[in-house]
Structure 1
Amino acid sequence: MKPSLISAEQASRFYHHWLNADREKRESEIQSLIHSPLHRLDLPALLQHEIGNGYSLPRAMRRIRNLLICAIIERNLSGKADLSEVVETMTLFAEFAIRTHLDSLYEELTETHGTPVGAHSGKKQKMIVLGMGKLGGRELNVSSDIDLIFVYPENGETVATRSGQRTLSNQEFFTRLGKRFIKALSEIAEDGFTFRVDMALRPNGASGPLVASIGMVEQYLIVQGREWERYAWIKARAITGDPEDIETLGHIVRPFIYRRYLDFSVIDAIRNLHQQIRADVVRQEKLHPERSNNIKLGRGGIREIEFLAQMFQLIRGGRDPALQDRSTRNTLHILAEKRQLDEKTAETLLNSYTFLRDLEHRIQYLDDAQTHSLPSNEKDLLLVANAMGMHTAAELLETWQKHREFVSGQFDAIFSDKSGSHDQSKAVIPQPLLASQTEEEQIHFLQTKFETLDFQDPESAARRMLAFWKTNRILSLSDNNRAKLISLVNSLLPELRNAHEPLVTLGRLLDFFESIARRTAYLSLLTEYPAAAKRLLHMLDASEWAARYLTRHPILLDELLDARTLMAPPDWSFFTSELDSQLENQRGDTELLMDTLREAHHAQLFRFLAQDLAGGLTVERLADHLSKLADIMVEATLREVWRAMPKRHRDTPRFAVIAYGKLGGKELGYASDLDLIFLYDDDHPDAPMLYTRLAQRFITWMTSPTSAGILFDIDVALRPDGASGLMVSSFESFERYQNESAWAWEHQALTRARFCAGDETIGNRFEALRNRILRQQRPPAWLKEEILKMRQRIHDAHPNHSGLFDLKHDAGGMIDIEFIVQYLVLEYSRQYPELTENFGNIALLKMSEKLGLVPKESGEKVSAIYRLFRKWQHQIRMQGADQAKVKPERATEQSNEVKKLWKQVFGQPSN
Structure 2
Amino acid sequence: MFNPLISEHWQKTEAQITALSERMNLNWQTFFSSLDDDQQAAVKHVLVVSDFVADALPRDHDHLCAAISDDRINQPIRANDYHQWLNELSDKAETEDDWHRALRRLRRRAMVHIIWRDALKTGHTLETTRALSELADVCVIRSIEFLQPLLEVRHGKPLAKSSEDEQEMLVIGMGKLGGWELNLSSDIDLIFAYPESGNTTGPKVISNQEFFTKLGQKLIQALDKQTVDGFVFRTDMRLRPYGESGPLVMNFASIDEYYQTQGRDWERYAMVKARIMTGEDSDNAQALLDILRPFTYRAYVDFSAFESLRSMKAMINAEVRRRGLMNNVKLGPGGIREVEFIVQAFQLIRGGQEKHLQTRELMQVLDMLSAEGYLPVTATEELKTAYCFLRDSEHALQALRDEQTQELPIEPLDQARIALSMQCKDWQVYLDTLQQHRDVVSHHFAQIVAHDEEDESSETDHIWLDLWHGELTDEAREALKQNHSCANDTAVTQLINEFRESRAVHNMQQIGRERLEALMPALLEQVCRQSDSEETLTRIIPLLEAVLRRTAYLVLLSENPQALEQLIKLCSASSWVAEYITRTPLLLDELLVPETLFRLPDPDELQEELRLRLLRVEADDLEQQMEQLRQFVRAHKLRAAACEVMDKLPLMKISDYLSRLAETAMTMVMNLAFEQMVSKYGYPTNAEKDPVYQPEFLVVGYGKSGGRELSYSSDLDMVFIHQGTPGRYTTGERSLDNGVFYTRMGQRMVHMCTSQTRSGDLYEVDLRLRPSGNSGMIVASVKAFDEYQQNHAWTWEHQALVRARPLCGEPRLFEVFNSIRQRILTQSRDIPALREEVRAMRQKMRDNLGSKDTSGQQFHLKQDQGGIVDIEFLVQYGVLAWSHQHPELLQVTDNMRLLDAFAKAGLMAPKDCQTLQETYLSYRAETHRRALQKQSLLLEGDIVSELGFDARRNDVTQLWKLWLEPDQ
User: What TM-score do the two structures reach when normalised by structure 1?
Assistant: 0.59
**CA-CA distance at 1:764 after TM superposition:** 1.2
Residue 635 (structure 1) aligned to one of 667, 673, 698:
667
Matched, 1:427 2:485: no
- Residue of structure 1 in register with 2:275 after alignment: none
8 Å CA contact 2:35–2:69 kept in 1: the answer is: no
The answer on 1:460 being equivalent to 2:494 is no
Correspondence for 1:594: 626
Q: Is the 8 A contact 2:132 2:184 kept in 1?
A: no
Give the aligned partner of residue 891 of structure 1: 949
What is the 5 A alignment of 1:237-316? 238-240=129-131, 313=316, 315-316=318-319
Cα gap change, 1:216/1:474 in structure 2, threshold over 3 Å: closer, same or farther? farther
Deviation, structure 1 residue 595: 1.5
Pick closer, same or farther for the CA change 1:785–1:406 going to 2, 3 Å.
closer
Partner of 1:4: none
3-state DSSP of counterpart to 2:670: helix
Alignment of 1:799 with 2:837, yes or no, is: no
- Cα distance in 2 for partners of 1:663, 1:678 equals 14
- State which of 861, 864, 870 in structure 1 corresponds to 2:918: 864
Match 1:649 to one of 683, 695, 701: 683
In the alignment, what sits opposite 1:144? none
Residue 677 in structure 1 maps to residue 719 in structure 2: yes
Amino acid paired to 2:319? R
User: What is residue 646 of structure 2 aligned with on the other side?
Assistant: 614
| Aligned match for 1:357, one of 365, 370, 393 | 370
Amino acid at match of 1:817: I
Q: CA–CA distance in 2 between the matches of 1:537 and 1:773?
A: 51
Corresponding residue for residue 490 of structure 1: 521
- Counterpart contact for 2:477–2:487, Cα < 8 Å: no
Q: C-alpha displacement at 1:486, in angstroms? A: 2.6
Which amino acid in structure 2 is aligned with residue 614 of structure 1? M
Task: Decide whether the 8 Å contact of 2:879 with 2:889 is kept in 1.
Answer: yes
* Residue 825 of structure 1: aligned partner: 879
Superposition map of 1:754-793 within 5 A: 754-793=805-844
Q: 1:523 aligns with which of 529, 532, 554?
A: 554
Alpha-carbon distance, 1:580 to partner: 2.2
Contact (CA 8 Å) 1:158, 1:167: kept in 2 or not? no
Q: Secondary structure at the match of 1:762?
A: helix
1:760-810 deviation per Cα after TM superposition (whole angstroms, max 9, x unaligned): 222211111101111101100100000001101110111315733221111
Contact 1:854 1:905 survives alignment (8 Å): no
Alpha carbons of structure 1 residues 487 and 413: separation in structure 2 relative to 1, 3 Å = farther
Cα distance in structure 2, aligned partners of 1:363 and 1:540: 45
Deviations 1:733-767 (A, max 9, x none): 11111111110000000000011111222221111
**Where does 1:566-577 land on structure 2 (aligned, <5 Å)?**
566-577=597-608
Q: Are 1:879 and 2:946 an aligned pair?
A: no
Structure 1 residue 713, shift from structure 2 partner: 0.5
Distance 1:834 1:157 in 2: 72
The Cα shift of 1:852 comes to: 2.6
Corresponding residue number in structure 2 for 1:746: 797
1:486 is paired with a residue of what secondary structure? helix
CA distance in structure 2 between the aligned counterparts of 1:715 and 1:309, rounded to whole angstroms: 36
Q: Which residue pairs with 1:850 in the alignment?
A: 904
Aligned-residue offset at 1:167: 8.2
Secondary structure of 1:238's partner?
Answer: helix
Correspondence for 1:716: 767
How many residues get paired?
Answer: 613
Deviation at 1:504, TM superposition (A): 0.3
Describe the SS at the equivalent of 2:720. strand
Q: Secondary structure at the match of 2:709?
A: coil
Instruction: Name the CA distance, whole Å, in 1 between partners of 2:454 and 2:185.
Output: 32
In structure 1, which of residues 571, 582, 594 is the aligned counterpart of residue 613 of structure 2?
582
Q: Which moved more, 1:753-762 or 1:571-580?
A: 571-580
Q: 1:820 to 1:330 in 2, by over 3 A?
A: farther
Residue 358 (structure 1) shift = 3.8
The superposition leaves residues 613-656 of structure 1 with CA deviations (integer Å, 9 ceiling, x where unpaired) of: 22121111111111111111111111001101121333222221
Single out whichever of 645-654 and 618-627 deviates more from structure 2.
645-654
Map of 2:563 onto structure 1: 532
Deviation at 1:908, TM superposition (A): 6.0
Contact 2:118 2:128 in 1 (8 A): no
Letter in 1 for 2:585: P
Give the distance between the partners of 1:708 and 1:334, measured in 2 at CA.
Answer: 37
Residues 660 and 676, structure 1, Cα contact 8 Å, conserved in 2: yes
**Is 1:625 equivalent to 2:657 in the alignment?**
yes
CA contact (8 A) 2:846 2:863 kept: yes
1:659 and 1:753 in contact (8 A); partners too: yes
Cα distance, 1:721 vs structure 2 = 1.4
Q: Which has the larger radius of gyration?
A: 1
Residue number among 340, 343, 352 corresponding to 1:327 in the alignment:
340
In structure 1, C-alpha distance between the alignment counterparts of 2:902 and 2:375, rounded to whole Å: 77
CA–CA distance in structure 2, aligned partners of residues 506 and 531 of structure 1: 18
Deviation, 1:520, is 1.7
Deviation at 1:856, TM superposition (A): 4.6
Percent identity for Structure 1 against Structure 2: 27
Distance 1:153-1:533 versus aligned 2 partners, 3 A rule: same
**CA deviation after TM superposition for structure 1 residue 161, in Å:** 8.3
Evaluate the alpha carbon distance shift between residue 309 and residue 735 of structure 1 in structure 2; reply closer, same or farther with a 3 A threshold. closer
Q: Which residue identity is paired with 1:465? A: I
Tell me if the contact between 1:748 and 1:823 (Cα under 8 Å) persists in the aligned partners: yes
CA contact (8 A) 2:338 2:445 kept: no
Q: Which amino acid aligns with 1:748?
A: Q
Q: Note closer, same or farther for the CA distance 1:327–1:471 as it changes in structure 2 (3 Å cut).
A: same
Preserved contact between residue 594 and residue 701 of structure 1 (Cα < 8 Å): yes
For residue 294 of structure 1, what is the aligned residue in structure 2?
A: none
Q: Tell me by how many angstroms 1:710 deviates.
A: 1.6
Deviations, residues 23-58 of structure 1 (Å, cap 9, x unaligned): xxxxxxxxxxxxxxxxxxxxxxxxxxxxxxxxxxxx
1:495, distance to aligned residue in structure 2 (A):
2.2
Deviation at residue 728 of structure 1 after TM alignment: 1.6
TM-score normalised to the size of structure 2?
0.56
Counterpart of 2:681, as a letter, is K
Change (3 A) 1:312 1:602: closer
Stretch of structure 1 that moved more, 451-460 or 630-639: 451-460
Structure 1 residues 336 and 457: CA distance shift in structure 2, 3 A? farther
CA distance in 2, matches of 1:579, 1:891: 41
- How far apart, CA to CA, are the structure 2 residues paired with 1:607 and 1:504? 22
Match of 1:551 in 2: 582
Q: CA deviation at 1:687?
A: 2.3
Are 1:424 and 1:430, in contact at CA under 8 Å, matched by a contact in 2?
no
What is the alpha-carbon distance in structure 2 between the residues aligned to residue 850 and residue 157 of structure 1? Answer: 78
* Partner in structure 2 of residue 901 of structure 1: 959
Structure 1 gap segments, 5+ residues each: 1-108, 128-149, 179-210, 218-232, 252-305, 338-351, 373-403, 435-441
Distance 1:895 1:456, change over 3 A: farther
Structure 2, unpaired ranges of 5+: 1-33, 77-113, 137-180, 188-308, 351-364, 384-442, 685-692, 728-736
Q: How far apart, in 1, do the equivalents of 2:655 and 2:494 lie?
A: 40
Offset, 1:491: 0.7
Q: Aligned equivalents of 1:421 and 1:326: distance in 2?
A: 32
Mapped to 1, the partners of 2:573 and 2:811 lie a distance apart of 41
Task: Tell me: CA distance 1:335–1:537, structure 2 relative to 1, closer, same or farther (3 Å).
Answer: farther
Q: Is the partner of 2:485 in helix, strand or coil? A: coil
Q: CA deviation at 1:500?
A: 3.3
What is the aligned-residue RMSD (CA, Å)? 4.9
Structure 1 match to 2:707:
665
Q: Report the CA distance shift for 1:602/1:430 in structure 2 as closer, same or farther (over 3 A).
A: closer
Distance apart, 1:331 and its partner CA: 4.2
Hey, what's the Cα distance between the residues in 1 that align with 2:514 and 2:860? 48
